[in-house]
């Protein structure tokens, strides 16, 4: 029987929603434990924030990041409980914030250690954040030329023809006008972000975050983790991991490179854990955030892999059943 080569992926900010995780705590003891541990770390009721969001804080970066990491790890823990040994990943990666969940998945960070990191990361990004982000259908080089012209930066390369540009709001507005004139067949969509993340405008936050990274314990990597900063596997050395997480804050998220590295590694099963998007109000109605990007990446490379969403209780059970089956 052929063993699966599984790639776990974790989405980033923007995939949070009110009600996130409420189904998990009803159905999985492990999820209830994760949420209790999370509240003890951050000092507030992260379950109430995630399930009810009574004060409309969930979309604020300092609260989004701990809540989303908690949801992702709760999904991961529940899936592992159901799938047992069949749920072991060969490769893992996360988009921006999701990289911290990937490091937890790989054993390089404890859940509590990762949560403390992202709570501080979110706080600093909120305090130092300014500007905004624009998702475009440009390839990297024309996007870079346009960004340079308008004092902006490349926040993310999600697909060969999907590049996120970020900068001060006035600069980005001028860039959007220029985009419409010079690339009439291309689109630009403003993202709901508190700042120009993953660009030079995050350097002040990164410099303060460096001290938090220095004081965080990192352990041996048990599963290959792909770095947003390099697009290649993390080096199994605590200082190397720290430096790449530091640089990640103000450098491009190289998701295309991460996907290519996983595809080149021969993954045949891709599992997305946590978050959700779409108009539905309940976890069961949400769609996976990275699904389209993942599937388009496979098509671009002319490769096939089974895709399994594990973002809610029903999806986790279905994914576990598939993982237990022979590949």
pLDDT of residue 295: 98
pLDDT tens-place values along the chain, 327 residues long: 578 999 999 999 999 999 999 999 999 999 999 999 999 999 999 999 999 999 999 999 999 999 999 999 999 999 999 999 889 999 999 999 999 999 999 999 999 999 999 999 999 999 998 999 999 999 999 999 999 999 999 999 999 999 999 999 999 999 999 999 999 999 999 998 899 999 999 999 999 999 999 999 999 999 999 999 999 999 999 999 999 999 999 999 999 999 999 999 999 999 999 999 999 899 999 999 999 999 999 999 999 999 999 999 999 999 999 999 876
pLDDT of residue 35: 98
Residue with tokens 């996360």: 94
pLDDT of residue 3: 83
- Within 10 A of 101 (CB to CB), how many other CB atoms are there? 33
Cα 184 to Cα 154, 166, 171, distances in angstroms: 20, 20, 19
pLDDT of residue 265: 97
Q: Cα separation of 64 and 114, whole Å? A: 14
- The whole-model pTM stands at 0.97
Query: Which among 198, 227, 234, 297 is annotated as catalytic?
Result: 198
- C-beta separation of 8 from 105 below 8 A: yes
Q: Cα separation of 258 and 226, whole Å? A: 6
pLDDT of residue 129: 85
pLDDT of residue 326: 77
Q: Cα separation of 48 and 211, whole Å? A: 30
95 is catalytic: no
Angle, alpha carbons 171-174-178 (nearest 5°): 135
Query: Which among 22, 50, 96, 227 is annotated as catalytic?
Result: 96
pLDDT of residue 1: 57
126 is catalytic: no
Q: Cα separation of 324 and 326, whole Å? A: 7
């Amino acid at each position: 029987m052929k063993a699966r080569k599984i790639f776990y992926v974790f989405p980033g900010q923007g995939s949070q929603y009110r009600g996130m995780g409420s189904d998990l705590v009803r159905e999985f003891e492990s999820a209830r434990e994760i949420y209790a541990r999370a509240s003890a770390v951050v000092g507030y009721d992260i379950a109430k924030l995630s399930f009810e969001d009574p004060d409309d804080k969930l979309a604020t970066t300092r609260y989004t990041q701990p809540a989303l990491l908690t949801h992702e790890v709760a999904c991961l823990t529940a899936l592992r409980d159901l799938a047992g040994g069949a749920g072991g990943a060969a490769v893992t990666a996360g988009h921006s914030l999701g990289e911290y969940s990937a490091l937890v998945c790989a054993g390089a960070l404890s859940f509590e250690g990762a949560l403390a990191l992202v709570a501080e990361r979110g706080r600093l990004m909120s305090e130092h954040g300014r500007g905004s982000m624009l998702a475009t259908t440009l390839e990297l080089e024309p996007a870079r030329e346009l960004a340079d012209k308008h004092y902006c930066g490349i926040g993310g390369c999600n697909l060969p023809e999907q590049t996120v540009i970020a900068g001060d709001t006035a600069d980005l507005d001028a860039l959007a006008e220029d985009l419409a004139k010079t690339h009439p067949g291309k689109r630009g969509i403003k993202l709901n972000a508190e700042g120009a993340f993953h660009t030079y405008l995050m350097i002040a936050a990164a410099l303060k975050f460096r001290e938090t990274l220095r004081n965080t314990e990192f352990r041996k990597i048990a599963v290959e983790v792909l770095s947003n900063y390099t697009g290649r596997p993390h080096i199994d050395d605590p200082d190397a991991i720290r430096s790449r997480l530091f640089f990640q804050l103000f450098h491009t998220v190289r998701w295309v490179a991460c996907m290519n590295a996983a595809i080149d590694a021969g993954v045949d099963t891709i599992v997305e854990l946590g978050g959700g998007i779409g108009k539905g109000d309940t976890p069961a109605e949400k769609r996976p955030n990275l699904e389209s990007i993942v599937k388009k990446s496979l098509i671009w490379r002319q490769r096939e892999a089974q895709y399994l969403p594990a973002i809610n209780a029903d999806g986790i059970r279905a994914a576990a059943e598939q993982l237990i089956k022979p590949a």
